Amino acid sequence: MSELGAGTRGASLGLDAMKIASFSQNKNFFRKYKVEQIATLNDLLFEDIKTNTAKRLDGIVVMYERIRHLISRHLTDNRFPIVIAGDHSNAGGTIAGIKDAFPNKRLGVIWIDAHADLHSPYTSPSGNVHGMPLATAIHEDNLECQSKKPNAETRKNWDLIKGDTQRVKPEDLFFIGVRSTEKPERFLMEKYNIPNVKVPELTQKGAGSVADMALEHLRDCDHIYVSFDVDSLDSSISKGTGTPVPGGLSEEQATQLLLDLLSNPKVVALEFTEINPVLDNKGNVMAETAFRILEKCTNQIEQMLKS
């Protein structure tokens, strides 16, 4: 599990933490569902950073390609990939893989997260690439809000992960739970009129209603990818993620939301990301919570594939 894009260490241990959680909940889960692991370049964390405004972007280029090819292969073979990723930068590779599998189809993205992840090397205050995957997907530099000057190697690698063309139209993004953004991200959200259902609205309307809103917004898309960052959950559940933010979803809300979204046959891939047991202040609670949600989602997907 790659964690090259994160600002804190430990997201590469997320899968192991979920496996530990499965011992007390369903120890047969990871025997029944084999995990195909992608070789990482996490050793680059010990090396000097070469890409000045997008840290370790040289390694992330390689990870994008590895994830891209695996996701494309599974979709081409009519499988439903459930991705358990390290940090959220990997989602850009997943999106690229879906687009490779369905190059002539319109792809929608439902982003369940505390953050918008719309930064670029030209705008990111931290340079952490887990805040940039959606910018790669919509092929956006956001030069209107430029505050940084990427060096030549950064620009070269950034263009590589963006690809030659836009993979997702900005109007085909739908945010749920986003509540921590910077000015450049808010600029793009307003520029492209990207919907964002915040947690108080979801609590008022119900998870099912919000799922319907998202699916209706993406009604013209042929396929949909759902990305679930565990920092969309309220930080009272656990600090076991790199960037926890108060005011998030409850476990019950997140579970119902995902189950309702997965009931739509247009959804072709699901991603869980940013589980960091090193930061968990309650033992392994974040991974235990994520595993409960994962197991229910997997059962739902199995039923959908059988019907």
**84 falls within a domain:** yes
State the pLDDT confidence band at 238, using cuts at 50, 70 and 90.
confident
Q: Where are the alpha helices (DSSP H) in 138-179?
A: 152-162
**6 falls within a domain:** no
**5 falls within a domain:** no
C-alpha 27/C-alpha 298 separation (Å) is 15
The pLDDT score that the predictor gives to residue 244 is: 83
Mean pLDDT across 194-206: 98
**278 falls within a domain:** yes
Q: What is the CATH number of the domain that holds 89?
A: 3.40.800.10
**74 falls within a domain:** yes
**1 falls within a domain:** no
**4 falls within a domain:** no
- DSSP for residue 219: T
What digits encode the pLDDT tens for the residues 265-299? Answer: 999 999 999 999 999 988 899 999 999 999 999 99
The mean pLDDT of the chain is 96
Residue 165: exposed, middle, or buried by beta-carbon count in 10 A (0-12, 13-18, 19+)? exposed
State the pLDDT confidence band at 239, using cuts at 50, 70 and 90.
confident
**115 falls within a domain:** yes
What digits encode the pLDDT tens for the residues 31-90? Answer: 999 889 999 999 999 999 999 999 999 999 999 999 999 999 999 999 999 999 999 999
The pLDDT score that the predictor gives to residue 258 is: 98
Return the structure tokens found at 299. Answer: 């059962």
Domain containing 143: what range?
Answer: 11-306
Report the number of distinct structural domains present in the chain.
Answer: 1
